[in-house]
Structure 1
C-alpha cells in the first residue's frame, strides 16, 4: 500500500515550482530589508532602549536564511544538487536556525516592549547588557537544538525507498537530493514523539503564550491614565502596534508550519498510511514551509512601519552624527570657497 501511496514526479514538480517561486520572490526584499535594518540598528543601538538589540539579532537570523536562498532556488529550478552533502546540510540547518531564532527574538521583542510600557524606569545600562547576554544564550540554545534536524537526515535517498519521489531521489553521479527530500533516519517511536513534543512546546506553545500575554498586558495598559514618570498614550500605542505585529508575524509564518510539521513527520516515517491524507499533507506542508520562510521579508516591514526609531533614522530629520559632521564640513568648505571667490573678485 505504501508503494501505491508514493508520490510521483507530479508532486515533486509541484513542490519544486512552489519553493522556487516563493524563494525568488522573498530573496531581494529580504536581503535589502535586513541589510538596511542592520545598518540602522548598528548606528543607533546605544541611543534607544526599545528592544533594538533583539531586533538586530532578529535581522541577523533572517539574513542567514536569505543568504542560503540562491542555492535553494538553484536546486528547485534544476532538480539537482551538485554542491555536495556538506553544503546541503549547512543550508538545511540554517533554515531551522533562522526559524527558531526568529521565534525566540520575536518573543523577546514582545517582552521588552511590554516591560518598557509597564515598568519604564527599570531599563538601564545594566539591563541592556542583560539583553546582550540573553541574545548570546538564545543563539547557543537555538544552534545546539537545531543540530537535531540535519542529524536526523540521511545523506542518500538510497537508504529509504519510501521517501517521496524515490524514483528521482537516487544519486545521479555528483547530483544529490537535498533539503526536505532527504529521508529521515530510523529512530524509535518514543524518541520521535519526544522530539516532536519538545519542538511543538519550544517552537509554538511557549512563545505563543508569551506573545499573547505581552499583547494583553500592553493593550490593558492603554486603559489606565498616565500618571508619574511613565510613557504617554502615543508611546503605548506604538508599543502595542509593535507587539501586535510580532504576534501577526508569529501567527502567519510559524503557527501553520508547526501544525503540519507533525503530520509531515508521520508521512516521511510511513506511520501515516491513508493515501489521500498523505497526499494532502505533502501538498500543504510545502505551503506552510514557504510561509515560515516569508518572515525574513515581513520582519523588515515590521521595523519600518511599527518602530518610529527606524523611519525617523532614515529621514533627513535625524541623521547619524557622522553624516551630520560630514554635511557640516561640506557646507563649511562650500562657504569658504564661495568667500574666497568673492575676495578674489573684489581684489581684481
Structure 2
C-alpha cells in the first residue's frame, strides 16, 4: 500500500500526482531490529525483575516504578518472536486477536515506559529536594501510582488497535505496519485526537523530565553539601539524566514523526514532499521506539547502587557454587 501507490492531491490549489516512496525495506528493517532486541531485552529485563523484586528490600527511591518499567518492557519483548516471524515470512497465521494484542502491547509498552520514566524523574528530584519526606514515603503510595498509570495507559492506548481493526479477520494474512489506518470522517477530529495524544503522551512528559534533570543538576552545582549528600545528588542526577537520554533517543523521533504520519494517513497533510519524507522515516522512528527495552536495564544498573551490589553479589555466589560443584566432582572421580 505504501510502496507503489500514486495519490492525487490538491496542493496550493492545483492537483499533482504524488508517488509514495518505495519502503519495501521496512520488513527487513523490522525483522533485524526485533531480532537484535529480543535476546538482550529478554535476558536484561528478566534479570532486572529478578533482582529488583527478590533482593532489594527497600522498595523506595523509584524501585517500584523500575519494577513496573521492567514488566512493561518484558511484555513487549515476549511478543517480538511473533513480529519477527511475520516480517520474515510476510504472512500472519495466528489470527486477528493475537495480531491486535501484539500491536497493542507495542504502544502499551511505549506509553507505560514514558509514564514510569516520568515518575522516576519526579520522585528522584522531589526526594532530593525534600529528603525528610522521603523517609516517610510509603511503599503503597508507589503501588497506587503505578496502578493508576497502568489503568490510564491501558485505556489511552486502546484507540491504536481500534484504528487498525478495520477489515481485519481471522483469515487475514496482514498485521502490524501493513494494517490499514481507519479513516475518520472529520479532519478537525483527527487533528484534535493527535494533538491530545501528543500533549499527554510526549510534550507533557518531555517538559517534566527536562525540568527535573535541569533542577537536579542545578541543585548539585549550586549548594555546598557534605560528601554523602553530594554522592546522593550525583546518583539522583544520573538517574534523571538517564531517563532523559532514553526518552530522547527512543521516543522523541517517533512522536515528531507520529503527528505528521497520522495527518498524512488522514489526508490532512497533502504536501507531497512532507508526505514522502514522513512515510520514509516512519519505519526508522518505530524501530528506535523499541530500543527502550534494551536501554531501560542500563538505567537500573548504573543508577541504583543496591542493584549493582545485589547483582554482583549473587553473580559471585553463582560462580562460586559452580566452581565448588566442579571441584567436588573432580575429587569424586579421583
TM-score (norm 1): 0.81
Could you tell me which runs of 5 or more consecutive residues in structure 1 were left unpaired when the two chains were aligned: 158-170, 335-348
Larger Rg over CA atoms: 1
Q: CA offsets, 1:226-271, max 9 Å, x none?
A: 27xx951112111101110000000111111110001111222233
Secondary structure, counterpart of 1:316 in structure 2: helix
Superposed counterparts of 1:88-107, under 5 Å:
88-107=99-118
Q: Paired residue for 2:133?
A: 122
Q: CA offsets, 1:57-116, max 9 Å, x none?
A: 000111111011111111111111111111110001001100000000000111111122
Is residue 300 from structure 1 mapped to residue 297 from structure 2 by the alignment?
yes
Question: Offset at 1:45?
Answer: 4.5
Question: Offset at 1:182?
Answer: 1.3
Is residue 291 from structure 1 mapped to residue 264 from structure 2 by the alignment?
no
Larger deviation, residues 143-152 vs 174-183: 174-183
* Distance in 2 between residues matched to 1:176 and 1:311, nearest whole Å: 45
Is residue 110 from structure 1 mapped to residue 115 from structure 2 by the alignment?
no
Question: Offset at 1:125?
Answer: 5.9
Question: RMSD of the alignment, in Å?
Answer: 2.6
- Aligned residue-pair number: 307
Q: Paired residue for 2:219?
A: 221
* Distance in 1 between residues matched to 2:112 and 2:56, nearest whole Å: 20
Q: CA offsets, 1:104-149, max 9 Å, x none?
A: 0000111111122111111246532111100000000000010011
* Distance in 2 between residues matched to 1:29 and 1:274, nearest whole Å: 41
* Distance in 1 between residues matched to 2:59 and 2:225, nearest whole Å: 21
TM-score (norm 2): 0.85
Superposed counterparts of 1:171-320, under 5 Å:
174-187=171-184, 188-222=186-220, 223-226=222-225, 232-316=229-313
* Distance in 1 between residues matched to 2:276 and 2:89, nearest whole Å: 24
Question: Offset at 1:25?
Answer: 0.5
Q: Paired residue for 1:162?
A: none
Superposed counterparts of 1:51-200, under 5 Å:
51-124=62-135, 126-156=137-167, 174-187=171-184, 188-200=186-198
* Distance in 2 between residues matched to 1:40 and 1:62, nearest whole Å: 15
* Distance in 2 between residues matched to 1:250 and 1:288, nearest whole Å: 13
